[in-house]
Amino acid sequence: MNILEIQDLKINLGTHDILHGISLEVPERSIIAVLGANGAGKTTLMRAISGIYRPSHGKVFFDGQDITGLPSHKVVAHGILQTPEGRQIFSNMTVRENLLVGGGPYGLAEAEHVLDLFPVIGQRYRQLAGSLSGGEQQMLCIGRALMRKPRILLMDEPSLGLAPKVVAEIFHLVEQIRTQGLTVLLVEQNARAALRIADYAAVIDGGHITLEGPAAQIAADPRIVEAYLGGHTH
């Protein structure tokens, strides 16, 4: 069953067409990787799903309901949460305060569940978020989104600026989250790391989906190997 369906989505910002008829199906409890270079339209797609951008054409369906053009707070109420590029935590607030701000009605009880997933964050519970390492801040960003008990998590470049070892840890956590029933739409430039954990992948170039299929198939495609995987598959 598809939890999210995007049908012929077009986004126009000012005089520029950013997305040119994107269609994508996201099955429940899957990890879908959306790959592409800077400026390809990946973040625009996320913002359109989240209600930040209003499509000029096309539809977005969540769990069978048309949510096209809904404002962001109503999209969140449906169970769609986004972790933004660059993390955007509240640096001058503690880890605890960041989680509670993200939690809305759920509060401390849900924070305990999040800290079980991210024990490192639990060890920093009373620290200012700005004092955390980049990887810890990314964990906090994910944990803050999970405080709302989402059904689908939109992750925008979670590996950005992180060392390879930390990227592996973050993506392992994403796999863990999926085992708990969550669906993940993962926008990434780090194609190698994303394809390792994804079930399915789509490549966006110039606002179009130019290639899509099972992640293993995409990872073996010579065009992807050359453009994103450094010319080799291992």
pLDDT, tens digit, for every residue of 117-161? 889 998 999 999 999 999 999 999 999 999 888 999 999 989 888
pLDDT given for residue 51 in this prediction? 93
Domain ranges across the chain: 2-25+40-187+197-211
Q: Provide the whole-model pTM.
A: 0.89
Mean pLDDT of the chain: 89
- The Cα 122–Cα 77 span in angstroms is 27
For the cut 50, the answer to whether the pLDDT of residue 234 exceeds it is no
Domain 2-25+40-187+197-211 has CATH 3.30.230.70: no
In the chain, pLDDT over 90 holds for what percent of residues? 62
- The Cα 185–Cα 169 span in angstroms is 18
In the chain, pLDDT over 70 holds for what percent of residues? 95
Which residues share a beta bridge with 9? 22
For the cut 60, the answer to whether the pLDDT of residue 32 exceeds it is yes
Give the N- to C-terminal CA distance of the chain in Å, as an integer. Answer: 33
pLDDT given for residue 104 in this prediction? 67
pLDDT, tens digit, for every residue of 185-205? 999 888 888 999 999 999 998
pLDDT given for residue 230 in this prediction? 57
pLDDT given for residue 233 in this prediction? 44
Contact 124, 130 (CB under 8 A): no
List, in sequence order, the alpha helices (H) in the chain.
42-50, 72-78, 95-103, 107-117, 119-123, 134-146, 164-179, 191-197, 215-220, 222-228
Instruction: List the single range of 63-67, 71-75, 130-134, 225-229 with lowest mean pLDDT.
Output: 225-229
pLDDT, tens digit, for every residue of 71-113? 999 999 999 999 877 778 899 999 999 998 877 666 677 788 8
